[in-house]
Structures are given as C-alpha cells and as structure tokens.
Chains A and B, each alone.
Chain A
Amino acid sequence: MRYAMAVDTKKCVGCSDCVVACQTENSVPLGYCRDWVVETMDGTYPQLEVELRSERCNHCTNSPCVRCCPTGASHFAEGGIVLVTPRKCIGCGACIASCPYDARFFHPKGYVDKCTFCIHRVREGMKPACVAVCPTKCMYFGDLEDPNSEVSMVLKKRKSKTLIPEAGTRPQLYFLI
C-alpha cells in the first residue's frame, strides 16, 4: 500500500479552504499550518501564466526526516504515511532541518508536528480533510498500488510533477500540470 495525493493545479483557485479545514479537523493551533498554498507567476503582461498549488508534507518514500530522527519518533505508518509520535519526540529539530520542503514545525507543546494525511480519517475509509473540503474537487487521494484508486487513475491520465525531485526524497505529493 502506498498512499499518495495529487493536486490539479489547473483547477485550484488558491482559496486555501484546505488550510482552514486542516486547521479545524486537526486542531492545529492558530498561527501554524500543516498545509499551505503557493502561487507562481510567469511572464510579462499580457502573456502571463499562473500556477496555484496546495502543498504539505510529501510523505516521501526516501524520507530524510524518518532517517535522521534519533529516537524513532518520526516513523512510517501504513501506506508510507510519515507520522510523529509525540511522546517519543525530544524536540531536537533534526527532522525539521532535514526536510527540503520545510513541511514540519514545532507544535507549541514542544513536539514536532506536520501533515498526517489525516490518517485517523483514512483508517475509517474517509479522505483527508483537505481533499474532502476542496470546492473545486481538485485534490485526489488514494493508494498508488491500487490501479483503480482515483489517484492512480488521474496520474495515468494527466501530466504531473513533484517538487524538487532532485533532492532525492521521492515525494508522494503530485501536481497535475
């Protein structure tokens, strides 16, 4: 089982609903966010192009954060989802420094926090909160090893990219372009 997420940049309008939904679903403290939206703009008026992306932890297969954690607090759960066990985390920050996507942060309580692909929802057969709320339905989630999952189907049909693949982390968050 390999969980992955795909975001369709052609449909994303940058409304940031994914950010608020994640915040209320996961009780993320105000002032922090586990996911965020990026706008890139290219060109000169009027030849312009805008890309909008909803980003978060990429739950990498070759994840540097799991590798460098000295206590094993950062670990792989089912489907390759990267989680942090708070009572094992000492707050050293090695995982934060090792993430090329800057996806992690210190929770005010001291342990390290980040997107969990809403594993508590996934285990109940629901989609992550961000995917479930997106008004443009531009987000897909599922098992890449299942050829019939919506994420497998959409990656077969569309061109996609990941962020900084040259960092070698094998991220599992795909952007349809």
Chain B
Amino acid sequence: MNEELLISGRDNLLIDPHLHIWHWPIALDLFLGGLSAGILFFAALFFILGKENKYPSAVRKAPLVVPVLLILCFTALFIDLRHKAFFWQLFTTIKLQSPMSWGAWTLSFTFIVSIIWAALHIREAFPSFDWKYGWIKDLDKWLSKRKLTLAWIMLFLAVILGVYTGILLSAFNARPLWNTSVLGPLFLTSGMAAGAATIMLFSRNDEETGLFKKLTVILLGVELFLIIHMFMGFLAGTQVQIEASGLFLGGEYTTTFWIFVVFLGIIFPGILSILSLRGYKMPLAIPVALILLGGFMFRFIFVYAGQLSRWLY
C-alpha cells in the first residue's frame, strides 16, 4: 500500500484540494479572443484577395462586432484579476518570455486595429453616420488609402491572437493536460471555425453563405482531427499526461466533453452544414449557435479540467 498525505493541514484557498484559480472569465476571454481572431482573419484574407465586394459581410459587416467582443474580452480579463488596482502594471513592460505578456499586448494591438477597421466600415451599419471632427475625417481618408497594409497587419495579428489563446495554456508545463503543442493550432482552428460560422450568420448573399458553409465544415473537420491527435499524443506521452487525458477518457469530464464539445459543438453542426449545402432548408442560426456554444464549452471545460491535472499528490 502506498499513501501520500499532507499532514500539516494545508488548505490554501483556490489551491487545495486542487487548483481552481481560473473560472469562466478566462474561458470567456479565450473564446472571445478566438472568435474575434477568426472574424478578423477572414475579413483581412478576403480583402487582400480582392473579394471585398463578393463577400461583403465577411470583409465589412462582421468585423463591426469585433471591438465589442474585445471589450467584453478585456472586461472578462479584468474581472479575473485579483489585484485589480494594479492592472495597469501589465502595460508598463513587455516580458518576452511570458505568454501572458504577449497576450496582453497582442490583444491590445488587435483591439486597436479592429477599431480602425470597424471605424472605416462604420457606414455598413449606420449609413448616415458622419464623423463630426475634421481631423477624424482626414484620418479616415488617410487610412482608407492604406487599407491593404492594414489588412496584412490585421491578418498577422489575427493568426497570432488565435494561436495565442492556445499557447497561453500550453506554456504551463505544470498542468499536464494543457502542456501539448497541439493546443495552439487547435484553438486557432476552433476560433476560425467560430468566426466562419458567425460570418455565415451575417451573410446576405447565397454565394458568400455557401463559401462560408464549406469553410466551416472544413475547419470543423480539421478541429476534430486535431482533437483526436491531441489525445493520441497524450496517450503516447508521459505518465502525467496519460493521467491527465484520463479526465476525458473515463474521468469526470468525459460526458460533458464528448457530448457538448465534440458532438454538439463539432460533429452535429458539421452534419447540419453539409445537409444545408446539399439543399436541405434550415435556419442557419441552429448550427451557428451550436458551434459558438461548443467553442465556449471547449474553452470552459479545458480551463477547469487542466487545473485538475497535476504532477504531485
């Protein structure tokens, strides 16, 4: 028999009996970050490819919600901080070795770029909008001429942001469940799928909707592939990783993960999208809602389960 006990009564709040310092705010932050990254990615991509007018919702309409999403993202991050009065310290320095520092700055730059892009296309939502001040009008004109450069920057930042949401977790080797390099691309793909799904909802022309349905299906497929290979990686890994993956293969998160994230969040909406492409009529809101919900649940479950996985005791 083998026992390992804490005999001095350790019971640190949020640390014992297992880590639970991060809750829904972080999950929401990761999800909104990924979603924003997806939307901005497609906006930038199709603008660069010159398809602005073929896919107007992607390039001009959908990005309008991104600033709002990112404000919510920052709010969620702020709520999560425990020493809130000092939050500004985050922006006094860049720590190149700290993923969280990368994340704070990336998020900030993306936010600025998304505001600019949204501001440039404000008339999609408010046709009679007019900038009151002259200098803003000048700035508008100046930036509109350089939209291509802006788009390239936005493309770059969107990919970084999408991957970052996974890198943040995978950098913690103390949490074996998160410590897999697949997580970065996985969260990026998930974010892009969510972005594509959202654009699908905004779309008003059939060609655009059709393209994005296809893109959504492909991205969901890739996401599923990455999830399966992530688990294969765990099971072929070290003991702590095998134990960590056990949380989803018979452990307490098994049902929630495979039903909510994989089936309801990926497989089922994927099937619905394929059927929709084949001609079956259905309200697009259903697969889109499922994808978004699945995406959020994925981050949520992963944040909680990762804190259960550990090296010691």
Contact = CB atoms under 8 A, between A and B. Distances in A.
Do chains A and B make direct contact within the complex (CB under 8 angstroms)? yes
A39 to B, nearest CB: 5
A43 B173 contact: no
Interface in B3-37: 3-16, 19, 21-22
Contacts of A43: 1
B312 A71 contact: no
3 closest A-B pairs by CB: A91-B82, A91-B83, A110-B83
A111 B12 CA distance: 14
Contact of A105 (B15, B22, B103, B310): B15
Interface residues of A, number: 51
Contact of B13 (A32, A67, A109): A32
A100 B174 contact: yes
Contact of B307 (A52, A97, A101, A109): A97
Interface residue tally on B, bucketed by range: 35 or more
A97 B175 contact: yes
Contacts of A111: 82-83, 86
B239 to A, nearest CB: 10
B86 A38 contact: no
Interface in A44-94: 44, 52, 64, 67-73, 86-94
Nearest to B18: A102
A102 B173 contact: no
A102 B303 CA distance: 17
A41 B19 contact: no
A40 interface: yes
B99 interface: yes
A101 B310 CA distance: 9
B278 interface: no
Interface string B160-201: 000000000001111100000000000000000000000000
Interface in A143-169: 163-164, 166-168
Contacts of B104: 70
Contacts of A99: 174
Nearest to A32: B12
Interface string B78-95: 001111111101101101
A100 to B, nearest CB: 4
Given A94-B172, A97-B175, A110-B85, 10 more contacts: A33-B9, A40-B4, A70-B90, A70-B103, A87-B86, A88-B89, A99-B174, A104-B15, A109-B83, A167-B174
A90 B92 CA distance: 12
Contacts of B307: 97
A35 to B, nearest CB: 8
B276 interface: no
Contacts of A91: 81-84, 86
A36 to B, nearest CB: 4
Nearest to B26: A93
A145 B1 CA distance: 40
28 contacts: A31-B11, A31-B12, A32-B12, A33-B8, A36-B10, A37-B6, A38-B6, A38-B313, A42-B1, A44-B1, A64-B174, A68-B172, A70-B98, A70-B100, A71-B92, A87-B86, A88-B86, A88-B89, A89-B89, A90-B89, A91-B82, A92-B90, A93-B82, A102-B310, A105-B14, A105-B15, A111-B83, A166-B238
